[in-house]
């Protein structure tokens, strides 16, 4: 299982490095190699082709085949250039209007990749078939395959234009990011709930292995199942000292392994190597397992929208609504730090994660500080806190009331009109406002 996870992650990293080159390239080369098979079949089976392929729509003369293939190959490579130009324009608009950190998501967009790959394949196939067409050899199957690729390319281009037009809509991007964030938080909540009924106890520490980072980088992903299996096998407790998304320095300790017995040097070295292989450090952050990164992207969009240069409060309001929706499951259960316990109640893996308290603080503090004189935003924040208070775990009630009081105090400090302050107070009916 660990090997498969490692292989999947490694392949994903390769494709992510050059997302607009690797995947389109693989698609184009694969279809082009398939056309080689068709050319071979044309040469070997031409005398035995059925009658319907030797007349009507499927049969083409040499001059017609050359003309059609020339038009298809020329149009495909021209359109491919247009597609990449449109993608670059979208990148520019997204970086300026939404946020530069969204570019990573755009480069990984499957519609962009498939469109580029299909157009590249159409060009290569048409050019190759044209090269093999002669007076004595008109590859009927291959010519018709090139025509089919041209039809598919037109349909894909139409879909691509529709996809590109949606990708610059801020509300669509905010909704997609928040959906992924909600899915990830829901997975963590389910994992924590599975462990909630188990009583846990820590091992008596008789030996400790401090693990240090071998390079600088962001802690991006942890193979929890592999770590758990390893801890059970050697009767260990593995504790991460840093949460996902933290930047770790080379030679900085970020994992502690505890054993209830003295370990020999060979075992220590083996455990060290296996655990290091379960943890991934990358040069840049991504939203694969990094909850804080996804939250920060949405907050960045909101703060950019609130800046004087943009002044788009309603985009910021959309971000708040989506963020509170994403926090729904974690606030309901009162999410705590994640620990994986075995059947005997021994803690095997400790992962410092995102508690409900820290998630609420991460969302509401920066947005409140940037909206101290914006009544529309503060009312939205108050409504968001009110919604969360209705479904929140009882232990989060005091924290939500503290945030409600801070929202009121922030607006009061901007010397507002008494009527506006009273209006905000009505939205904070779950808070005993201290004036």
Q: Span 145-165, mean pLDDT?
A: 91
Confidence check: pLDDT of 5 > 50? no
Asked if 305 and 320 count as a contact pair (C-beta separation under 8 A), the reply is: no
Domain 183-282: assigned CATH number? 3.90.1170.30
Flag whether pLDDT at 14 surpasses 50. Answer: no
Average pLDDT over residues 205-227: 80
The pLDDT assigned to 11 comes to 47
- Band (pLDDT 50/70/90 cuts) for residue 73 is very high
Q: In this predicted structure, what is the pLDDT of residue 406?
A: 93
The predicted pLDDT at position 15 comes to 45
Tokens at residue 124, please? 């290569």
Per-residue pLDDT tens over the stretch 318-348: 999 999 988 888 888 877 777 777 767 777 8
**In sequence order, what DSSP letters do the residues of 98-156 get, joined into one string?**
T-GGGHHHHHT-HHHHHHHHHHHHHHHHHHHHHHH--SS---HHHHHHHHHHHHHHHHH
Tokens 């407790």 correspond to: 237
> Closest Cα to residue 243, out of 214, 273, 220?
220
- Judge contact between 385 and 364, C-beta under 8 A: yes
Query: Residue 141 has what pLDDT?
Result: 83
The pLDDT assigned to 47 comes to: 64
**pTM exceeding the 0.75 threshold for the entire prediction:** no
Place of tokens 């698609």: 27
CA-CA distance, 192 to 221, in Å (whole number)? 18
Q: Place 349 in a pLDDT band, splitting at 50, 70 and 90.
A: confident
pLDDT at 273 over 60: yes
Per DSSP, the three-state class of 377 is helix
Judged by average pLDDT, the poorest of 186-200, 255-269, 309-323 is 186-200
Any idea which of 198-212, 288-302, 372-386 has the lowest mean pLDDT?
198-212
pLDDT surpassing 50 at residue 51: yes
> Could you read off the pLDDT of 359-416 as tens digits, one per residue?
899 899 999 998 888 899 999 999 999 999 998 888 888 999 999 999 999 999 888 8
H-run or E-run covering 299: helix 291-306
pLDDT digits (tens, 9 = 90+) for 256-272: 888 877 877 788 888 88
């Amino acid at each position: 299982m660990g090997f498969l996870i490692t292989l999947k992650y490694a392949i994903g990293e390769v494709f992510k490095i050059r997302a607009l080159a690797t995947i389109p390239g693989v698609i184009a080369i694969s279809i082009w190699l398939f056309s080689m098979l068709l050319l071979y079949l044309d040469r070997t089976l031409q005398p035995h082709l059925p009658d319907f392929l030797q007349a009507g729509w499927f049969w083409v003369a040499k001059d017609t085949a050359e003309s059609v293939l020339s038009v298809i190959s020329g149009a495909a490579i021209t359109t491919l250039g247009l597609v990449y130009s449109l993608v670059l324009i979208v990148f520019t608009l997204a970086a300026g209007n939404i946020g530069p950190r969204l570019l990573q998501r755009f480069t990984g967009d499957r519609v962009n990749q498939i469109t580029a790959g299909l157009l590249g394949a159409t060009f290569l196939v048409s050019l190759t078939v044209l090269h093999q067409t002669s007076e004595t050899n008109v590859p009927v199957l291959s010519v018709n395959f090139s025509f089919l690729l041209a039809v598919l390319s037109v349909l894909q281009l139409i879909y691509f234009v529709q996809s590109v037009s949606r990708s610059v809509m801020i509300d669509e991007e905010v909704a997609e990011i928040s959906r992924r964030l909600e899915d990830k938080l829901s997975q963590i909540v389910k994992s924590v709930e599975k462990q909630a009924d188990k009583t846990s106890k820590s091992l008596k520490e008789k030996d400790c292995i401090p693990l240090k980072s071998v390079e600088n980088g962001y802690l991006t992903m942890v193979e929890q199942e592999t770590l758990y299996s390893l801890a059970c096998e050697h009767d260990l407790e593995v504790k991460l000292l840093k949460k996902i998304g933290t930047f770790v320095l080379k030679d900085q300790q970020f994992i502690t392994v505890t054993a209830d017995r003295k370990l020999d040097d060979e075992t220590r070295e083996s455990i060290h190597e296996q655990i290091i292989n379960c943890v991934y450090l990358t040069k840049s952050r991504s939203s694969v397992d990094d909850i804080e990164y996804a939250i920060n992207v949405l907050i960045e969009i909101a703060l950019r929208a609130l800046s004087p240069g943009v002044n788009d409060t309603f985009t910021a309001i959309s971000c708040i609504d989506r963020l509170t929706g994403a926090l729904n499951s974690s606030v309901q259960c009162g999410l705590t730090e994640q620990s994986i316990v075995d059947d005997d109640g021994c803690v095997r893996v400790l992962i410092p994660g995102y508690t409900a308290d820290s998630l609420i603080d991460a969302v509401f503090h920066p947005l409140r500080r940037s909206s101290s004189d914006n009544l529309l935003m503060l009312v939205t924040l108050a409504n968001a806190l009110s919604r969360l208070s209705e479904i929140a775990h009882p232990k989060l009630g005091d924290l939500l009331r503290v945030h409600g009081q801070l929202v009121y105090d922030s607006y009061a400090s901007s010397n507002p009109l008494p009527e506006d302050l009273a209006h905000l107070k009505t939205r904070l009916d779950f808070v005993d406002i201290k004036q």
